[in-house]
Amino acid sequence: MATIAVNGDKVSPLVANGMLPGTTIPEQQSDTTNGITPSAAKSLQQKSDHAPASTPQFTPGPTLQTKGFSAATTLTLYEPNQLPGNPILEPLRTLINTSFRASHNKHKTFPAAVDRLYSTNQYLQNLGTDAGTFTYIVTDNATGKPIATAGAHRYKAAVFESSGDGNKQGKTFVRVQLPAIAEESGEGAEVWELKLMAVDVTLQGAGLASYLMDLVDKEVLRRVAYEVRGMKADQKVFMLITTVKEINGEFYARRGYEFDYETVHEVGYMGSEMGFCVVHMSKVLEA
């Protein structure tokens, strides 16, 4: 099992998840830590007085300790317009699909042949281009291949029915409702959605997913603070996630996410042997 080293210290495995596309399985790991804030990424998190960069932001990532060897990594923060045509997209799609199949097929949720993404264009569409959208990608320095990723964007309700876009399966994991508490907070509320998180299946238990979730939360708060020139005392920032309840629902609940609503899908839907429930969850980010 791999572990993460930050500032030379080994970090015990953390609960790591896989929001769609799911990767690591929560029950395989302990739930003892609320995330990591590595010094390598502090510069990305603390510059609340700077706009998002015009070029990808590279910084040393966590050091992975696995099988007696140390593996150096690079953490990169991308804006959506920096990704089209980037050679990292195809290996990133492979990472996401492999991770998705590993977790969801193990629970017989979906057959092994089902991919999360069928093209790099689908990845870009799923990530979105809304103002503030970003994604982190961790790459192995030795191979240059991506080993973990997670992103976020401002939530905008999808309108498939009126536009005629998408099909039934394409809408399976699309949230169409805001959390009630966010609606009650009025127009001043900031609502964001965690997107496309995946971790290499050989690194399950290393803490990479929790590491990325923590970075994403802090980057969202940083961007909100920059745009409004400081967070108001009563400003609320919500983070949304969508996942398969049977696989990761309890894990997210332990991390402070609350259930908003769910949709139930019968046996045979998308090739599922057991049927499944897609749950939409949310939490308030603490500044």
Q: Does the pLDDT of residue 154 top 70, yes or no?
A: yes
Q: Does the pLDDT of residue 140 top 80, yes or no?
A: yes
Please compute the mean of the pLDDT values over residues 244-263 and round it to a whole number: 87
Ranges of H-type helices in the chain: 42-46, 89-106, 120-127, 160-163, 180-184, 208-227, 250-254
Task: With H, G, I as helix, E, B as strand and everything else as coil, classify residue 170.
Answer: helix
Task: Name the token pair of 85.
Answer: 């045509």
**Each residue's pLDDT tens digit, 38-62:** 333 343 344 434 566 679 999 999 9
* CB distance 14 to 211 below 8 Å: yes
Ramachandran angles phi, psi of 263, nearest 5°: -130, 135
b vs e for 121-158, b when ≥16 Cβ sit within 10 Å of the residue's Cβ?
A: eebbebbbeeebbbbbbbbbeeeeebbbbbbbbbbeee
Task: With H, G, I as helix, E, B as strand and everything else as coil, classify residue 228.
Answer: coil
Q: Does the pLDDT of residue 33 top 60, yes or no?
A: no
Question: Diameter of the chain by CA atoms?
Answer: 55
Give me the chain's average pLDDT, please.
Answer: 75
Domains and CATH numbers, the chain: 3-285 (3.40.630.30)
Distances (CA, A) of 98 to 25, 140, 225: 14, 17, 36
b vs e for 182-200, b when ≥16 Cβ sit within 10 Å of the residue's Cβ?
A: beebeeebbbbbbbbbbbb
User: 63-72, 122-131, 157-166, 251-260: lowest mean pLDDT where?
Assistant: 157-166
**Each residue's pLDDT tens digit, 89-125:** 999 999 999 988 877 666 677 666 667 888 999 999 9
Tell me the pTM.
0.75
Distance CA 155, CA 153 (A): 6
- Indicate the pairing of strand 237-244 with strand 276-285: antiparallel
Distances (CA, A) of 242 to 21, 65, 130, 256, 281: 10, 31, 18, 14, 6
Please compute the mean of the pLDDT values over residues 11-27 and round it to a whole number: 30
At residue 204's C-alpha, the angle toward residues 146 and 142, to 5°, is 35
Please give the pLDDT value at position 23. 27
Residue 64 CB: number of other CB atoms within 10 A? 24
